[in-house]
Amino acid sequence: MVPAKSAAKKKTVTSAVTKAAKAASKPKPVKKPIDPKKAEARRAAIPAAVIKLHKLILKSLDDDKAEDIVSIELTGKSSIADFLVVASGRSSRQVAAIAEHLVERITRETGKKVRAEGKAVGDWVLIDTGDIVVHIFRPEVRSFYNLEKMWGAAIPEPAAA
């Protein structure tokens, strides 16, 4: 026979789990559409040097044949950066090459030393320029981590092989 105290504890744990499951199953509130005036004000707050760097990054990724390039504006959403750029390479070797070229171009154009993590493996390279964070993935790794969904951006459809 189970003592009364342990039965009460068991019921409390089950109740907590049930409550958590019910809360998780409730529909999430729909995000409000972005007010165009507020979005324009946020963009105006981004320094011209950051906009220039952003264009340089997007051009470099495009020149190196990166695929599914997504740029997410973080101004007003996060203090870590103004933009988050996510792109894919077809293989580990291409991911590492895209990252290496991007680091060289940023250093040459801006004189800024940037850090890159993950070039040795080539599955996921993160480049932090201070104002812009760039993630370059192999497609399988990108779909696993799904950063665009986390930041609420449109996820591109994978290119047909």
pLDDT tens sequence across 107-126:
999 898 898 999 888 899 99
Percent of all residues in the chain with a pLDDT value above 90, rounded to a whole number: 39
For the stretch 12-42, pLDDT in tens is 555 555 555 555 555 544 445 555 555 555 5
Indicate the DSSP class of residue 45.
T
Q: Which residues contact 148 (CB under 8 A, 6 or more apart)?
A: 70, 72, 86, 154, 155
Q: What is the 3 state secondary structure string of 78-140?
A: CCCCCEEEEEECCCHHHHHHHHHHHHHHHHHHHCCCCEEECCCCCCEEEEECCCEEEEEECHH
User: Residue 37's pLDDT is what?
Assistant: 56
The pLDDT tens digits for 65-86 are 999 999 988 877 777 888 999 9
With a cut of 70, say whether residue 102 has pLDDT above it.
Answer: yes
Quote the pLDDT of residue 30: 46
Task: Name the nearest CA neighbour of 99 among 144, 154, 136.
Answer: 136
**Burial profile 31-55: b = 16 or more Cβ within 10 angstroms, e = fewer:** eeeeeeeeeeebeeeeeeebeebbe
d(CA 149, CA 47): 26
Higher pLDDT, 150 or 161: 150
> pTM of the full predicted structure?
0.68
